[in-house]
Every structure is written in C-alpha cells, then in structure tokens.
Chain A
Amino acid sequence: MILLCVLALACAAFVVWPLIRFAPDALSREPELFEALEERDRALAALRELEFDHRSGKVVDDDYRSLVRALRLRAADALRQVDAHA
C-alpha cells in the first residue's frame, strides 16, 4: 500500500513538473521546408537507385538514358525548392 502511494505521488510530480517549469508555449511551423527536403532526398535516392539498377543489369541502357534525364531534372528542381524555403 505504501508502495502504491509512493508510485501515485511520483506520477503526480512527473505530470505536474512541466506545468510549473518554464517552457515556450509554441509549436514549430515548418511543414513546407520538410516536404521540400523530403522531395530532395527522394529524388537523390531515386538517382542512386537507378545508377545501381543500371549497373546490376536490371535497367537496360535505353531505359536508363530516358529515365536518368527526368530524374536529374527532378533532383535539380527539388534542390531549388529547398533553397527557396530555407
């Protein structure tokens, strides 16, 4: 029973502590930048994957040439978006 009381008091202190301690009352707002970074990472990862698939023989030369140009353009656009939001 004593253990239960100690547990209850410890829980209450743990819950109340953030209320009495100073903390800024604001959540961050950064979704656009995060989406731009995600798109950049996706585009760069897609380029890396295409290179690897081409080297391993999964993607033939003709497919590689047609895909790599589009992916490079997408990566460049994603990098521009990151710069714009940052």
Chain B
Amino acid sequence: MALVGSGALALALGLYVYAALAGAWAAARSSNRLQRSARNALLAALPATAAATGALVFAFLRHDFSLVYVANHSSRSLPLAYRISALWGGQEGSLLLWLLILAAVAFGAVALNRELVDRALPWAVPILAALASVFAYLLVFVSSPFDTQAAPVDGAGLNASLQNPYMLAHPPLLYLGYVGLTVPFAFAMAALISRRVDARWLIATRRWTIVSWTCLGLAILLGSKWAYGTIGWGGYFAWDPVENAALLPWLTATAYLHSVMVQEKKGMLRVWNVSLVVLTFSLALFGTFLTRSGLVNSIHSFSKSPIGAWFVGLIAVVVLASVALVIARLPLLRARSPQLESLVSREAVFLYNNLLLVAFALTVLWGVLFPVISETVRGVPYSVGPPFYNFFLRAFGLPLLLLMGIGPLVAWRRASLRSLRRGLGWPAAAALAAGAGLIAVGAGTRPAGLAAYSFSAFVLASIAAEFVRGTRARRSIDGGSWPAAFSSLVARNRRRYGGYVVHAAVALLAIGIAGSSISRATVEHRVHPGQTIAVGGYSLRYMGTSFRPGANHDELRAVLAVAHHGKRDGFVAAGRNHYHAEAFFGNAVAIKTDWLRAEDLFVIADSFDVDGSVDVKVIVNPLVDLIWLAGVVFLLGSFVALWPDAREERRLARRDLTVGKVVTA
C-alpha cells in the first residue's frame, strides 16, 4: 500500500507541476494546444490523488500498521466508521483530504467551464494547479502519510474526541468549505491576469462559492454540536482560535455573496468583490494553517508540525501576488463602474452589511492573532476570551440583524421615505409587539437579548411580508392559484428567495443564541444515590451507577430519573468513557431535548467514587435547539438558492451564442 500510495502521490505531483508550468506558458503565449494539455493534466491529477487516498483508506481498513500514520491513528478495536474517518484524524491524512477535495473541485470547475477556461480564463488552470502542487509537494517530501516502519501488533488508536458521529462529517465539510473557495479565487485571479473583468468569472464560480459557504456554515454548526455533546461544558461555541478560523472565511464569504449581487445587478463594487475573494481565500488558508500548525493553543490543534512555515510562505505569496494584481488592474476594474445613487437603496444596505461583516471578521482575526503577536513581541502570553468576542458580536451582529430585516424591503437604486414607511410598517409592528410581549412577561431584562429577540421578529416578519407581497404580485401578473403563484415567485428568483430562507435561519440562530446565553440555569452538586437535584422546573433523582464494558471503550454512567414540573419524564445517563487503545477518559454527557420548547436538559457526571457518590452538573438550556433547527433551515435555503435557474441558463446560453456567432464570423 505504501508503494501504491506514494507512487500515486508522486504522479499527482508531477501532473500538478506540469499543469502549472505548461498552463502558465500556454496562457502567456496563447497556445491552445499546450493549454489543453495542461488542462488535461489538472483533470488527470484527480484519479491519481484519489488512488493515493484510496490506498491510505485501504491500509486503515486492513490494519496495515506498517504505515506509521495508520499505526498512530487507529487500532484493531476501532469501529469501521472511525477507521475510515481516521484518514483525517492526523496532519498527513488531513493534508491528503485537502488535496483530494482540491483535485475534485478543480476537476469540476474546469470541466464544467471548459469553454470559458479555454477562451477567456486560461490562467485558472495554472493557478489551481500551482496551489495543488504546494499541497502535493508537502505530502510527498515534507509530511507523507506513507512513511513505513516495522509493523507493531496494534495501533495507538484514534483521538477519543474524534470518535464521534459529528466528526465523520465536520472535517470533510470544513475542508470542502475551505478548499471550495479556491475556485472563485483562481477564476478571479485568472480574469484579472487576462484582463477579462466582465461578470463571466463571477457567474461561473457563483455556485461553487455558495456550495463552499454552505459547507463551511454547516461544518461550523456540526462542530458546535460536537463541542456541545462532547467537550462537556454545556456550551457550543467557545471562541476557540480554530473555531474562529472557520468563522472568518465564512463571514467574508457571506459579505461577498451579498456584494456580488450588486456587481451582477449594477456593475458596481468590482474592486471590492475581487478584494473580498482574495481576503476570503487567504482566510481559508489561514484557517487550515491555524488548525495544522499548532501555532495557537486549541483543543483542535493536534500537534506542532513542520508544515507551519510552508503555510506562512503560501499565505504570503497568495496575499502579495493577489494584492499586486488587484492594484495593477485598478484602472480596468474602476472603468465604467457606476456610482451609488442613494444611501437608501438595496445596494447601499448590502454595502453597510459588507462593512459590518468585514469589520467583525477583522475584529475576530485580531482576537486570534493578538495572543501570538503579544507572545512574539513582548514575550508575554495573553489570551483573548469570550467577553471580547461577545462584545463585538453584539456590536456588529445586532445592526447586521436589523439590516437583514430592512434590506429585503428596500428597492434597488433608491427608495423614498413613503416607500420605506409602507414596507417597514408590518415588520416594525411585529418587532415592537415581540419586544413589548417579552417585557410584559419579564423576559426583557437584558437590553442585548431584548434587541436580539425583537430584531429577529422584525427579520422574520419582513421575510414573510416579502413572500406575501411577491406572491400576490405574481398572481396578479400570471393569474392562477396561490400555490402556483408562490412557486413561480421562487422559481423566477431562486437566489433571492433562497437567501430569504437563509435569513430566517440566521434569525432562528440569533434567538437560539440569545435564549441559551441569557436564560440558562445551572446547578452543580455532589450526590449520593437517592438524592435529588432541582433546577429550572426539572428535578433529577440519582438512582446509581451502571457500567458497560466494550471492545473499543468501557462506559461508566450515573443514572438519573427525570421529572419535569412534577411529572415523570424518563431517565438520563451521563458519565465517562474509557478508551482502551488510547488510554484516555472522555466525557459522555446526557442531553434530553424538549423539541416543543426547543430546550435541552444537559447533564454532566464526573468524579465517581466507590461509595456511589458522583459530581453532577445540570444545565437547562432554553431555546438552544433553535440553533440546530437553524442549520436545517440554512441548508434548505442554500438548496433553493443553488437549484438551477432554467431561465437564467437560457439567457446566458443566448449571450454565449451571440458572442460565438460574432467571433466565428
């Protein structure tokens, strides 16, 4: 397996290097033959990279401990699913997954846009290939997953934190998000080098950006769900540097997805959009670097590694070359770019939203980098904690939430006060009613929480108003039934209405975060069998312990009978797992969900004693499940936005046909 894997990786490296060099030469010399050969090399690198990945997975499945990587990240007792996910359980495998995803997205983006790449954006191939070359080089020469040794009897096992169903999906989704952002970056840079600053690169990469952004968003959410159920502190996002590193490109990609509409609709913000693409991709690289380098202390950084310097070099080259290119093309990008007509217009709202998102991203970046800078310059370690981030989340997040409600109600170009009054009426009334209701029931004591709930109500009401008004207008134009009009409304502008569904998800997220942060109730006691703990309307009676041995791990649990407002409500079992191969104890929290109230009863049990006593911490997390529901709504909105728009595709095909006819003539 080692020979097949390393041979396939060497082949992939050769193909990437050829695609980068020949592709650059062909693009510079307008050589169509060489360009197609380079393109084919990039496409052919996918099966080579897949063969290397397949060889490593096969080695995990066969317990081939002669591979150092397999021995270090699996054991004979490891369940099948985790033997496959062990592929990304360490640095070398993660890099290989990165390269495989890059090979796949490069294949997809180039194969689906062959005409565009051949005729207008030939530089996309060498840029994608050059980036892939760096990762292939690291895997072949610096950090190979195919290093061999005399095979031990058993492996060291997989990090116990990674033996979790969420870890089967979180890392691949995260990498899909990070790596997918390479496509808009490569196409944007190709457009700049070729001086083709029309919207073709942008249209060609739109879906790739939305897919990457969706994957990144879901990865952050799944990572939060993993942390919530595994780390055992009752929270879901700790502003850990590596969590922040995933959030950063998501924030700037969100800004880009909004500002790109302004360019498509009005031809504005061309400089801003390419700058956002560069910033987003650089942050995606930074995220990978932070996870892999061990630069910062984080539960997610597995070890110090030799690839840190390579990543710093790659990020420096990407940033410097991209910035130089954007500056060189400024006159071209600024030509024929119209000005903002009014500060009260849809495009102006998008601009405000962009400024807030980028400001928040830069603030979070500062929070991540400051401890490193402080330690390097002053030699004093300094940590930036949740209060810093929570302050700026409120400072930037609440205005963003408000803008999310205002944006859909404001017309493009400019809106008069009368138009605004008419649009804002119902949503504003809904927000005021929600705020007044909360104050009346005594839930509005915290201004930030009250604002989050009221603004979320405003957003949801403005989205509902948009759907109602749009459906009514569609019906008055086309006739027919209400469902047909609704369907036609969404089908004619999937990105807009899919976007509104995503906005609804963000409003749910805001309510979930506000509720679980402000109204959480916690109690912690050492209890003996028969004793009861009461909190937030729940009472939990400690019944005793249970022990279940297993092949991979043993389970020790404290069993508690639950009653809610005096009514029996089943049992929960929380405790510890002992992983044999890893010689590691991990938390096994118990979570009892009340879906109707979107509330969790969260139980942690620790410090078991022979006398049967145990430390039990019980947390009641109100509205927390709206956060996970938001993930489902977010995915639904992304699907709507991604669904192919036949009308637009016909229009673009007609445009290409027109150009084709003229060029042929």
A16-B37, A45-B265 as given contacts; A56 in contact with B472, CB under 8 Å: yes
Taking chain B's interface residues, is the majority helix, strand, or loop, or is none over half, making it mixed? helix
Q: Which of B41-49, B539-547, B557-565 contacts A (4 or more CB under 8 A)?
A: B41-49
For the complex, is B596 an interface residue (Cβ under 8 Å from A)? no
Chain A residues 1 to 40 lying within 8 A of chain B, measured CB to CB, are 1, 3-4, 7-8, 10-11, 14-19, 21, 23-31, 33-35, 37-39
Chain B residues 107 to 129 lying within 8 A of chain A, measured CB to CB, are 118-120, 122
Distance of A30 Cα from B199 Cα, bound (Å)? 13
Distance in Å: Cβ of B26 to nearest Cβ of chain A: 9
How many A-B pairs with Cβ below 8 Å?
A: 150
Distance of A11 Cα from B266 Cα, bound (Å)? 44
From A8, A15, A59, B40 is in contact (CB under 8 Å) with A15
Among A16, A24, A46, A63, the most chain B Cβ lie within 10 Å of the Cβ of: A63
Taking chain A's interface residues, is the majority helix, strand, or loop, or is none over half, making it mixed? helix
Among A3, A15, A85, the most chain B Cβ lie within 10 Å of the Cβ of: A15
For the complex, is A76 an interface residue (Cβ under 8 Å from B)? no
- Look across to chain A and name the residue whose beta carbon is closest to the beta carbon of B410: A58
Distance of A78 Cα from B597 Cα, bound (Å)? 55
Distance in Å: Cβ of A57 to nearest Cβ of chain B: 6
Distance of A1 Cα from B649 Cα, bound (Å)? 45
Q: Is the CB of B469 within 8 A of A58?
A: yes
For the complex, is A73 an interface residue (Cβ under 8 Å from B)? no
Q: Which residues of A contact B198 (CB under 8 A)?
A: 31, 34-35, 38
A11-B47, A49-B412 as given contacts; A34 in contact with B265, CB under 8 Å: no
Q: Which residues of B contact A41 (CB under 8 A)?
A: 651, 655
Q: Is the CB of A55 within 8 A of B32?
A: no
Q: Is the CB of A37 within 8 A of B659?
A: yes
A57-B469, A63-B414 as given contacts; A34 in contact with B200, CB under 8 Å: yes
Q: Which residues of B contact A29 (CB under 8 A)?
A: 663
Distance in Å: Cβ of B425 to nearest Cβ of chain A: 11
Q: Is the CB of A7 within 8 A of B11?
A: yes
Chain B residues 379 to 432 lying within 8 A of chain A, measured CB to CB, are 409, 411-416, 418-419, 422-423
Distance of A23 Cα from B119 Cα, bound (Å)? 13
Distance of A86 Cα from B416 Cα, bound (Å)? 39
Distance of A15 Cα from B19 Cα, bound (Å)? 9
Q: Mark B605-645, 1 if CB is under 8 A from A, else 0.
A: 00000000000000000000000000000000000000000
Distance of A21 Cα from B40 Cα, bound (Å)? 13
From A30, A57, A59, B663 is in contact (CB under 8 Å) with A30
Q: Which residues of B contact A62 (CB under 8 A)?
A: 416, 418
For the complex, is B267 an interface residue (Cβ under 8 Å from A)? yes
A7-B11, A23-B36 as given contacts; A53 in contact with B265, CB under 8 Å: no
Q: Which of B1-9, B143-151, B285-293, B295-303 contacts A (4 or more CB under 8 A)?
A: B1-9
For the complex, is B470 an interface residue (Cβ under 8 Å from A)? yes
Chain A positions near chain B (C-beta within 8 angstroms): 1, 3-4, 7-8, 10-11, 14-19, 21, 23-31, 33-35, 37-39, 41-42, 45-46, 49-50, 52-53, 55-60, 62-63, 67, 85-86
Q: List 23 A-B contacts (CB under 8 A).
A: A1-B7, A3-B4, A4-B7, A7-B47, A15-B37, A15-B40, A18-B36, A25-B31, A28-B119, A30-B659, A31-B120, A31-B196, A34-B659, A46-B265, A53-B411, A56-B472, A57-B469, A57-B473, A58-B419, A63-B411, A63-B415, A85-B662, A86-B662
- 5 tightest A-B contacts by CB? A18-B36, A56-B473, A11-B44, A56-B469, A55-B473
